[in-house]
Structure formats: C-alpha cells, structure tokens
Amino acid sequence: MAVSNTTTAAKDPTDMSTAILIRVDQTGKGDFGKIQDAIDSVPSNNSELVFISIKPGTYREKIVVPADKPFITLSGTKSSDTIITWNDSGEIFASPTLSVLASDFVGRYITIQNTYGTSGKAVALRVSGDRAAFYSCKILSYQDTLLDDVGKHYFNNCIEGAIDFIFGNAASLYEKCHLHSLSERDGAITAQHRVSSAENTGFTFLGCNITGVGASFLGRPWGASSRVVFTYCHMSSAIIPQGWNDWGDETKQRSVYYGEYKCYGPGANRSKRVGWSRSLTSDEAAQFLTKDMIGGKNWLRDPPIHFKRASGALVSLNSDENE
C-alpha cells in the first residue's frame, strides 16, 4: 500500500542531520550481507532517516524499496566498486534491477545495471516514489534503462547509457550528468510521457554531456504532450541533426514541448532541427535553470553527519566502534 503524502509529511524526521546506520558487507562484517535484507529490516512508516552503507562489491540482487519505507539512503563508496546487478527483461514495471517505490529516497555512489542484453526491454532503475535523488550513480542497461516514472526526482553527476533510455512521466532535473547512447541508429535519449499540458512534469537536462556510439535523437514523444528541455548541454555528433522524432505520429508535433537553450558542440547545431522544436528565449528558459521545477529547495537534503544504531547508540560511519 502506498504511503500518502499526508501520512509521510506527518512523520518527517525532526533531525535531518542524524541517521540510523545499517551496514551491508558481503564479507560478513556488516549487519547484513544483502542489500534487500537491510531494507527489509527498516520498519514500515519509519520516521527517521536510515542510511544503508554498502561496502564495495558486486551485489547480484533484484531490489525493491517498498512504498511504506520512506527516508532510506543507499550509499556505496564509489560507483565503480559498488555494483547492484541483475539480468531480467519483459514488462517495464517487473524487470528493474532496483525499484524505488518509497518517497524521500537517496542513492549515492552506486552502479545499478541490468545485463540482460540487447534483445528486449531491460530496466535497470525504476523510480516511482516522490522526492528521490541520485548522486554520482551509474545507471546502465541497453533498452529502456531508466524508468523515471512518477514524482519529483533529481539526478546529479550520474551516468546513464543505453537506447531509448530515459522514459516515464516524472518531473525530473538532470544536472551535470553524462548521457551516453549505445544506439547505432535512430535511438532516442528520452521518451517522456506527459499526456496533457496541464501536468507539471517533464525532463530537464542542465549542463549535461551527451555522447554516443552511433546516432540518436534527443527525444520522441511517449505521451502527446511530452516535455523535454536541454539547457547548457554539450552535444556530440552522435545527435541526429533533426534532433527530435515524432514517433510516427505527426499530430504530436503540435502538442509536444521540446526545447533547447544555449547548448553547444557539433550535435547542438539547430540549422537542421525539426520545425516543431523550440530554441528557447532567456525568459522561456528561466524556469528550467533552477531546481524550482521540482521544488528541490523544499526537499533536497545534505547527507547526514551523525549516525546511530537503532538502539540510539552513536556510531561512526567508518567504524563499528561506538563513539
């Protein structure tokens, strides 16, 4: 059962600088050897920050953060040595390696990958909870890599790589991310699913680097009012000169919102862009240049600086000794 915003708000942690510490270590030196076991140990509707520290290793798990367990952080040491991996395909809501259904989730310094291959949809990460943030994470698969489903989300310094790989109907800001397409021909970076201009959803890319091995469009409309904006982004020659694709439905050309603002690089040349995309003015771009679109000032939080056990005993993040 999903936790309503009212219920979650009533149980927000009062101390945002202190978190309950749970350690995951495959060598047996932590509280748990599996990440899912650590998540399962968190009580439903918990009202404190929970910081799950994951020691380096490759964790072959299919993980779900349930909707009734908000305020969880999964943190590795660096994405190159803290890897969550699975290999599943099929229905987009069933195949993800990591499914985040809870609100107020944070992921840090981890790789999330689906190694199924190139023959079908294989989601690495599904984000369906509100107020989720990811920092310095790698999100890797081939087709339909990141299901940026619903809610307000923030991705900072993350790397995603695949074909048609960021899709869904969230309101998300991608800041200083590296988007690398594995498509050899006619792939798409985004497939945003906004169905009405009344919805305040869409994907914004700010200061990102876009590269690829072949040729990709910036986006194609999963929803009739699909909204995607690229601002201050470097675009390599992997971007197809037309820039955007209507996915075989010309009627969507009148209702999508596809914008670019002060992007640069060989793929940013707008001389051959489709006429129904937009070169934004400074006034039009202003709303996409801050975290205001996702209300980030109200919910993005710094990492905790104090840690304790569930018993209340203070501990150090880097030691099992009590402080």
Inter-CA distances, 306 with 16, 299, 300, 312, Å: 10, 19, 18, 11
- Report how far apart, in Å, the C-alpha atoms of 91 and of each of 87, 122, 123, 124 are: 13, 8, 9, 12
Q: Where are the domains of the chain?
A: 56-67+78-100+110-315
pLDDT recorded at residue 8: 42
Over its C-alpha atoms, the chain yields an Rg (Å, rounded) of: 20
Q: Does residue 52 contact residue 74 with C-beta atoms inside 8 Å?
A: yes
164 is catalytic: yes
pLDDT at residue number 320 = 54
| Catalytic position from the list 164, 246, 292, 302 | 164
Distances (CA, A) of 38 to 47, 74, 209, 232: 17, 10, 35, 39
pLDDT digits (tens, 9 = 90+) for 192-216: 999 999 999 999 999 999 999 889 9
DSSP annotation string for 239-283: B-TT-B--TT-GGGGGT-EEEEES-BSGGG--TT--TTSEE--HH
> Helix, strand, coil: what percent of the chain each, to 5?
10, 35, 50
How many C-beta atoms lie closer than 10 Å to residue 199's C-beta?
14
Contacts of residue 66, Cβ cutoff 8 Å, sequence gap at least 6:
39, 44, 101, 102
Number of Cβ within 10 Å of residue 176's Cβ equals: 16
Domain spanning 56-67+78-100+110-315, CATH architecture: 3 Solenoid (2.160)
Indicate the SS3 state at residue 318.
coil
Q: What is the mean pLDDT of each run of 10 residues along the chain (323 residues)?
A: 37 87 96 98 95 98 97 96 93 93 98 84 94 97 90 95 85 97 86 95 97 92 97 97 96 97 98 98 96 93 93 82 39
pLDDT digits 0-9 by tens, 214-247: 899 999 999 999 999 999 999 999 999 999 999 9
- pTM across the whole model: 0.94
